[in-house]
């Protein structure tokens, strides 16, 4: 196994000429988080330039990045050929004709390349060129089974797939229910039961027993179906190693393969329990959770019901109850509760398999994301990934609209300006219900935005299950960073930010902070400089600043940054007028050291003085 055991990040569209760039710009909005890399001397306006095509393709491939190369397929093949050593670890690699007339998945067909090719072909109005064996055999790809299934010995798939392509029989030895393998038998008449197949035919064996992997013939492919639900319970802060050891011992004691574990399941009170989440991650499966009522409904089927457990958490058994609830009414308990000092474990089998997304609920997640001032190019990859992975988007309507195609297929929950608390509560409630939520803020989520309000709500109360939600704050490009970049480098030395809105901060506090910043000679980024009712705060701040810095101090007025109608204008402190700004304007006042250089504004940090001193020494 190489280091490329999974793909990472959004697709990279690699372009070598302007025709390819035009096609890439058509495709990028349909690939959340995608970036366009361009050959520097031909398409310098791409999102990221590179100088050497072969080296760049190899670097992306080695990093596991999905690649959409808008160039001849031969270029990609010759570049990546020396790196091809494990088909099961390769990221998706596609070649797209520069003019968009062809889409060909080259590598990773069953790891997303075929699906990606179909999506791009749909955008371009063409048919993708799919050549993998699964497509030739009517969609049956034994080396890329449905979600949840595992291939124990991938190298054995060659014999079975070659037989299917040639129309020769393949024997099926299924130890489970017939419905479990319907995806195989319905796709090809060449797949026949092992007891009636021709002697010497390649065999596909389907089993969740650990012993099935022993002494496999080289032409026998072993598929692991997702039939086992691993129910667990544990004390708070149980050592993860203790729970994992118990789980593996329980499986081994009952001849059950960990490759057939479909999910780790427990009581919803354990949704934030580190040991439970670590076990699911170690097994490579989802963690799902049930409320106490759902688990207590399984009491008649429990092998070891407990009144003590009922008194404590509201159900008569956590590990057995969760396993049976996940396996469904036709499921059976195949491993009764085993326990250690801090943990319990049980296993149930579902004859038709388990689809984790259809049982219980996931641990909810709330990503508080800053999308920057507006333009997609200023959106960080982390933010784009959080939005792409969200089921629900919560935010002010304008901010959600700025997401463009990235919001497609997601539930939108909108509210007006001034309803910030309602937005935060709605986001927390959705996450507590097991949803993956992106709470969308402009700029940076932690700068005059909603990240702080989320933590205030968590501290002051609300639903108890809010505390079990996974919380992540994803930074964005702030308005003051964007304004500074447009103007030059005004934040090159000490600076601060002050909001002039008195809706949440008393005016006297604002005035005191302005005076302190003026005396300290900070560059100041003024947020919320005016409103319809508040037009005196900015003139007051200007007058205070004029007592501490020159009248010709540069002032940057940046409006609608990254959006249609963007303007960036430089004036002076004495000429600053409230009539020049609105709520969409960021006002940045330089320090006494800030200078203008043509159209640019910068604040020196002292390098020139240091160079003079060094020269003198």
For the chain, the 3-state helix, strand and coil shares in percent, each to the nearest 5, are: 40, 25, 40
Are the C-beta atoms of 347 and 256 separated by less than 8 Å?
A: yes
Compute the half-sphere exposure of residue 266: CA atoms within 13 Å on the CB side of its CA.
Answer: 26
Plot region of 602 (φ>0 → left; ψ -120 to 50 → alpha; else → beta): beta
Q: Tell me which residue of 614, 590, 612, 585 sits closest to 602, measured CA to CA.
A: 590
User: Would the pLDDT of 6 be above 70?
Assistant: no
Query: DSSP letters of 356-412?
Result: GGGSSBPPPEEEEEE-BSS-GGGS-HHHHHHHHT-SEEEEEHHHHHTTGGGGTTSEE
- The mean predicted confidence, pLDDT, of the chain is 91
pLDDT of residue 137: 54
The whole-angstrom separation of Cα 364 and Cα 275 is 17
End-to-end CA gap in the chain: 57
Local confidence band at 609 (pLDDT 50, 70, 90 cut-offs): low
Residue range 180-194, pLDDT digits in tens: 999 999 888 888 887
pLDDT of residue 359: 96
The whole-angstrom separation of Cα 516 and Cα 505 is 16
Residue range 309-365, pLDDT digits in tens: 999 999 999 999 999 999 999 999 999 999 999 999 999 999 999 999 999 999 999
Residue range 225-275, pLDDT digits in tens: 999 999 999 999 999 999 999 999 999 999 999 999 999 999 999 999 999
pLDDT of residue 553: 98
pLDDT of residue 2: 29
- The pTM score is 0.76
pLDDT of residue 364: 96
User: Would the pLDDT of 291 be above 70?
Assistant: yes
| Segment among 221-235, 270-284, 386-400 with least mean pLDDT | 386-400
Q: Indicate the burial class of 607 (C-beta count within 10 angstroms; 0-12, 13-18, 19 or more).
A: exposed
User: Would the pLDDT of 418 be above 90?
Assistant: no
pLDDT of residue 4: 31
3-state secondary structure of 456: helix
Phi/psi of residue 161, nearest 5 degrees: -70, -40
pLDDT of residue 486: 96
Local confidence band at 1 (pLDDT 50, 70, 90 cut-offs): very low
Mean pLDDT for 494-510 is 96
The whole-angstrom separation of Cα 173 and Cα 196 is 11
The whole-angstrom separation of Cα 526 and Cα 483 is 11
User: Tokens for 615?
Assistant: 């020269």
User: Tokens for 173?
Assistant: 């030895």
User: Would the pLDDT of 493 be above 60?
Assistant: yes
Tokens 């075929």, residue located: 114
Question: What beta strand segments (E) does 426-502 contain?
Answer: 436-441, 470-474, 488-489, 495-499
Q: Is the torsion defined by CA of 592, 595, 599, 600 positive or negative?
A: negative
Are the C-beta atoms of 59 and 80 separated by less than 8 Å?
A: no
pLDDT of residue 64: 86
pLDDT of residue 196: 58
User: Tokens for 361?
Assistant: 């609920």
Q: What are residue 55's DSSP bridge partners?
A: none
pLDDT of residue 193: 87
Q: Is the torsion defined by CA of 49, 50, 56, 62 positive or negative?
A: negative
Furthest C-alpha separation in the chain = 97
| Segment among 362-366, 503-507, 603-607 with least mean pLDDT | 603-607
Local confidence band at 612 (pLDDT 50, 70, 90 cut-offs): low
Residue range 567-596, pLDDT digits in tens: 999 999 999 999 999 989 999 999 999 999
Strand order in the sheet with 67-70: 48-50, 35-39, 12-15, 67-70, 93-96, 103-107
Local confidence band at 3 (pLDDT 50, 70, 90 cut-offs): very low
pLDDT of residue 232: 98
User: Would the pLDDT of 7 be above 60?
Assistant: no
**Taking the C-alpha atoms of 80, 82, 85 and 90 in order, what is their torsion angle to the nearest 10 degrees?**
-10
Q: Quick one: which H or E segment has residue 68? A: strand 67-70
Helix axes 420-432, 451-460, angle to 10 degrees: 70
Q: What are residue 571's DSSP bridge partners?
A: 555
Are the C-beta atoms of 46 and 36 separated by less than 8 Å?
A: yes
The whole-angstrom separation of Cα 3 and Cα 64 is 9
Mean pLDDT for 137-155 is 83
Residue with the bigger pLDDT between 114 and 311: it is: 311
3-state secondary structure of 357: helix
Residue range 343-359, pLDDT digits in tens: 999 999 999 999 999 99
3-state secondary structure of 584: coil
User: Would the pLDDT of 431 be above 60?
Assistant: yes
Phi/psi of residue 436, nearest 5 degrees: -105, 110
pLDDT of residue 617: 56
Angle at 546 between CA 540 and CA 549, to 5 degrees: 140
User: Tokens for 531?
Assistant: 């409103």
Phi/psi of residue 590, nearest 5 degrees: -70, 170
Are the C-beta atoms of 466 and 458 separated by less than 8 Å?
A: yes
User: Tokens for 528?
Assistant: 């919320």
Percent of all residues in the chain with a pLDDT value above 70, rounded to a whole number: 95
CA 406 to centroid of chain Cα atoms: 12
Kindly list the structural domains of the chain, giving each domain's residue range(s) and its CATH number in brackets, ordered by start: 12-131 (3.40.50.11220), 150-224 (no CATH), 231-358 (3.30.420.180), 365-477 (3.40.1010.10), 480-602 (3.30.950.10)
User: Would the pLDDT of 88 be above 80?
Assistant: no
The whole-angstrom separation of Cα 483 and Cα 525 is 9
Tokens 């072969």, residue located: 54
120 CB neighbour count, 10 Å cutoff:
24
pLDDT of residue 404: 81
Local confidence band at 114 (pLDDT 50, 70, 90 cut-offs): confident
Local confidence band at 164 (pLDDT 50, 70, 90 cut-offs): confident
The whole-angstrom separation of Cα 489 and Cα 602 is 4
CA 39 to centroid of chain Cα atoms: 28
């Amino acid at each position: 196994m190489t280091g490329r055991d999974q793909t990472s990040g959004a697709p990279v569209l690699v372009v070598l000429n302007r025709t390819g760039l035009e096609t890439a710009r058509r495709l990028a909005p349909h690939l959340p988080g995608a970036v366009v890399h361009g050959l520097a001397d031909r398409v310098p306006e791409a999102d990221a330039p590179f100088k050497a095509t072969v080296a760049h393709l190899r670097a992306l491939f080695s990093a596991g990045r999905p690649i959409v190369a808008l160039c001849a397929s031969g270029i990609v093949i010759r570049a990546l050929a020396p790196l091809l050593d494990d088909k099961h670890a390769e990221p998706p690699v596609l070649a797209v004709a520069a003019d968009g007339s062809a889409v060909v998945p080259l590598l990773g067909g069953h790891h997303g390349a075929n699906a990606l090719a179909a999506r791009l072909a749909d955008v371009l109005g063409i048919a993708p060129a799919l050549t993998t064996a699964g497509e030739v055999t009517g969609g049956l790809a034994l080396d890329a089974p449905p979600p949840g299934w595992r291939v124990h010995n991938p190298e054995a798939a060659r014999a079975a797939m070659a037989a299917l392509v040639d129309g020769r029989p393949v024997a099926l030895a299924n130890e489970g229910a017939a419905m479990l393998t319907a995806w195989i038998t319905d796709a090809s008449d060449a797949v026949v039961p092992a007891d009636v197949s021709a002697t010497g035919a390649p065999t596909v064996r389907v089993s969740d027993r650990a012993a099935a992997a022993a002494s496999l013939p080289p032409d026998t492919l072993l598929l692991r179906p997702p039939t086992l639900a691993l129910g667990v319970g544990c004390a708070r802060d149980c050592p993860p190693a203790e729970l994992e050891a118990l789980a593996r011992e329980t499986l081994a004691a009952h001849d059950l393969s960990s490759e057939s574990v479909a999910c780790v399941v427990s009581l919803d009170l354990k949704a934030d329990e580190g040991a439970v989440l670590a076990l699911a991650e170690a097994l490579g499966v989802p963690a799902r959770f049930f409320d106490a009522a759902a688990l207590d409904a399984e009491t008649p089927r429990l092998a070891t019901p407990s009144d003590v457990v009922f008194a404590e958490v509201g159900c008569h058994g956590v590990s057995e109850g969760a396993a049976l609830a996940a396996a469904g009414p036709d499921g059976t308990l195949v491993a009764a509760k085993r326990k250690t000092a801090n943990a319990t474990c049980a296993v149930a089998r579902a004859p038709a398999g388990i689809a984790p997304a259809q049982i219980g609920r996931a641990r909810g997640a709330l990503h508080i994301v800053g999308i920057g001032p507006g333009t997609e190019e200023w959106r960080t990859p982390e933010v784009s990934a959080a939005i792409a992975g969200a089921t629900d988007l919560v935010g002010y309507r304008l901010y959600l609209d700025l997401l463009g195609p990235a919001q497609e297929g997601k539930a939108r929950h909108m509210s007006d300006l001034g309803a910030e608390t309602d937005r935060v509560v709605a986001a927390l409630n959705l996450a507590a219900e097991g949803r993956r939520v992106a709470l969308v803020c402009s700029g940076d989520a932690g700068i005059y935005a909603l990240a702080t309000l989320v933590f205030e709500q968590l501290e002051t109360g609300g639903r108890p299950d809010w505390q079990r939600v996974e919380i992540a704050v994803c930074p964005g490009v702030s308005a003051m960073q964007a304004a500074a970049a447009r103007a030059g480098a005004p934040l090159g030395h000490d600076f601060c930010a002050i909001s002039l809105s008195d809706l949440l901060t008393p005016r006297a506090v604002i005035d005191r902070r302005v005076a302190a910043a003026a005396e300290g000679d900070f560059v100041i980024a003024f947020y919320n400089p005016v409103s319809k009712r508040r037009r005196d705060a900015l003139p007051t701040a200007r007058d205070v600043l004029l007592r501490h810095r020159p009248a010709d101090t540069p002032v940057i007025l940046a409006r609608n940054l990254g959006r249609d109608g963007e303007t960036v204008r430089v004036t002076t402190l004495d000429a600053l007028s409230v009539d020049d700004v609105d709520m969409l304007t960021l006002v940045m006042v330089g320090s006494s050291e800030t200078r203008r250089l043509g159209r640019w504004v910068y604040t020196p940090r002292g390098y020139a003085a240091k160079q003079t001193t060094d020269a003198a020494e």
